[in-house]
A and B are shown apart, each in its own frame.
Chain A
């Protein structure tokens, strides 16, 4: 009795220490965000004189926001990001699920084998190896850079392999073949079987793909910066990079822009926390 009491107390103490350590670490982890938040409401002079003060000498100001929204073209930029991310993600899900279906269920076909093997092998190729030829082909030869649809097309091409790989695993292990055979007997075509039976059953995997691809595309910088050269097409990361170059000295403005760039995804995370965390883990472990 005494012993278990002692063990319990030791456990409580170790838990308290651990919570204390975790709180300290968490504060360190969000320290950069805290710095942004406390300084964004100050005037430029106050940020320069004391960035650590909670409130500046000149008091609380919201002035940085309207100016940043205006100079960064915030609404258009966020619209561009949303447009590219949404359309690319939806098309990636549809196309990769269809493709995964045929390469998994008809894996004995030569075309299936070839495509699937090429996709798996291509997953190790980093973007840096493809960026120069991409610019050469799409910019030099075809001259179709500077269109959002070109960017969407490329996002799809780059994200397919991973998505097909994950969908293929899900189809192989989670969709009973008997179900498809039953649909077949009932007179469904392959097309109908896929959309009515298989696709709805892939919901958890669809969620995983949506989360990892939407996050990656929303934050992507290098590819969009090579494809989109016109200001009115900029997505958030490119706009941020160019904004910083222009307004480096106006630090309050920069911080407001940074906060605005982070807010949408942070708000989304608050609501979809569980899904995002599960999706990311599922994507990493299977990938």
Chain B
């Protein structure tokens, strides 16, 4: 027994300690916080029962931000995956310099959300407007970030730009994992190249689709960095996504208990959608 404990502690002791202190304790402590009305400063954390959950359900701004996050995630996820898949298709077709293109499309992913957001802010505020003025296009003479619909459009566009290259790499791995003899066999059976892709290769890549969708859904739902630097929630708080609302609720308005309750609700919504997607996706998986 003591031998077991000794070995376990020697190898996993420090890791377990870090993990428990940083993940497990805060998780349960966070659950406890949702039943208190802590303001972030006072020593006491008065117990308030379910008041924070009641406040969460009554917080219209929270539900509006959730609705906005759904809208944003829906379009971002679909567009990211379409663009990523098409890119992957093109850079695996055997054209010259495909490794160069793969690396090039991946570049946006190397840079953090804060920096990316500011770079795009410059592009939308200055370059976009300059193009509009020089071509005399009325709709492009003002920065898209200054209108409600425009800010959302910008967020989605940047998400596509940021994640398409990363997801492309996963689709590329999917394309390469499918045995090319299957394509040849399909062609012998009379398929055209496009038909072979559509009816043989794509069904074999189901795992790649499930992985990419899961990654994009969870990332889009929890986005914060780009939201903060690109729009900052402006104009008129019309582009505050759910994660930013939670942050503001806790750290700006000092409602830690309600903020934590809202964070939990957001997490549950995101987890349910993510899991549902994986289950549906796996159902029809083709065994290789």
Residues of A within 8 A of B (CB): 15, 18-19, 21-22, 25-26, 29-33, 35-36, 39, 47-48, 50-52, 95-96, 98-99, 101-103, 106, 109, 111-112, 115, 118-119, 122, 124-137, 140, 153-154, 156-158, 160-161, 164, 190-191, 194, 215, 218-222, 226, 236-237, 240-241, 244, 251, 254-255, 258, 261-262, 265-266, 269, 273, 276-277, 280-281, 284-285
Cross-chain contact A285 with B170 (CB below 8 angstroms): yes
Contact of B277 with A by CB under 8 A: no
Contacts of A284 in B (CB 8 A): 166, 169-170, 211, 215
- List 28 A-B residue pairs with CB atoms under 8 Å apart, sorted by A's residue number: A15-B96, A19-B96, A21-B90, A29-B161, A32-B120, A32-B122, A32-B123, A33-B107, A36-B119, A52-B127, A102-B7, A115-B16, A122-B23, A126-B222, A129-B264, A129-B267, A136-B29, A140-B40, A158-B22, A161-B19, A219-B115, A237-B115, A251-B122, A277-B102, A277-B169, A281-B173, A284-B166, A285-B211
Given the interface contacts A22-B91, A125-B23, does A47 sit within 8 Å of B126 by beta carbon? yes
Q: Roughly how many angstroms separate A285 CA and B212 CA in the complex, as a whole number?
A: 9
Q: Roughly how many angstroms separate A30 CA and B107 CA in the complex, as a whole number?
A: 8
Cross-chain contact B27 with A221 (CB below 8 angstroms): no
Q: Roughly how many angstroms separate A221 CA and B115 CA in the complex, as a whole number?
A: 10
Shortest C-beta distance, A32 to chain B (Å), equals 5
Cross-chain contact B114 with A237 (CB below 8 angstroms): yes
Given the interface contacts A221-B112, A241-B114, A254-B118, does A128 sit within 8 Å of B224 by beta carbon? yes
Cross-chain contact A18 with B102 (CB below 8 angstroms): no
Residues of B within 8 A of A (CB): 4, 7-8, 10-12, 14-16, 18-19, 21-27, 29-30, 33, 38, 40, 87, 90-91, 93-97, 101-115, 118-120, 122-123, 126-127, 130-131, 134, 161, 165-166, 169-170, 172-173, 211, 215, 218, 222, 224-225, 228-229, 243, 246-247, 250-251, 256, 259-260, 263-264, 266-267, 270-271, 274
Cross-chain contact A15 with B95 (CB below 8 angstroms): yes
**Which 3 pairs show the lowest CB-CB distances between chains A and B?**
A157-B22, A219-B112, A99-B15
Partner of A29, one of B25, B105, B166: B105
Cross-chain contact B118 with A258 (CB below 8 angstroms): yes
Contacts of A99 in B (CB 8 A): 11-12, 15-16
Contacts of B114 in A (CB 8 A): 219, 221, 237, 240-241
Q: Roughly how many angstroms separate A280 CA and B110 CA in the complex, as a whole number?
A: 10
Shortest C-beta distance, B53 to chain A (Å), equals 15
Contacts of B18 in A (CB 8 A): 95, 153, 156-157, 160
Contacts of A222 in B (CB 8 A): 224-225, 247
Cross-chain contact B94 with A22 (CB below 8 angstroms): no
Cross-chain contact A258 with B119 (CB below 8 angstroms): yes
Closest B residue to A112 using CB positions: B8
Q: Roughly how many angstroms separate A128 CA and B112 CA in the complex, as a whole number?
A: 18
Cross-chain contact A109 with B123 (CB below 8 angstroms): no
Closest A residue to B36 using CB positions: A136
Q: Roughly how many angstroms separate A166 CA and B247 CA in the complex, as a whole number?
A: 31
Shortest C-beta distance, A201 to chain B (Å), equals 16
Partner of A111, one of B8, B105, B131, B170: B8
Cross-chain contact B173 with A29 (CB below 8 angstroms): no
Q: Roughly how many angstroms separate A130 CA and B271 CA in the complex, as a whole number?
A: 15
Point out which of B4, B103, B127 has the most chain A C-beta atoms below 10 A from its C-beta.
Answer: B127
Q: Roughly how many angstroms separate A136 CA and B267 CA in the complex, as a whole number?
A: 19
Shortest C-beta distance, A281 to chain B (Å), equals 5
Q: Roughly how many angstroms separate A134 CA and B30 CA in the complex, as a whole number?
A: 8
Contacts of B105 in A (CB 8 A): 25-26, 29
Q: Roughly how many angstroms separate A36 CA and B126 CA in the complex, as a whole number?
A: 11
Closest B residue to A237 using CB positions: B114
Given contacts A111-B12, A118-B24, list 5 more A-B pairs with CB under 8 A.
Answer: A22-B91, A111-B8, A130-B23, A161-B23, A254-B118
Cross-chain contact A103 with B243 (CB below 8 angstroms): no
Cross-chain contact B259 with A132 (CB below 8 angstroms): yes
Cross-chain contact A125 with B27 (CB below 8 angstroms): yes
Closest B residue to A140 using CB positions: B40
Shortest C-beta distance, B76 to chain A (Å), equals 16
Contacts of A115 in B (CB 8 A): 12, 16, 19
Contacts of A262 in B (CB 8 A): 111, 115, 119
Cross-chain contact B26 with A133 (CB below 8 angstroms): yes
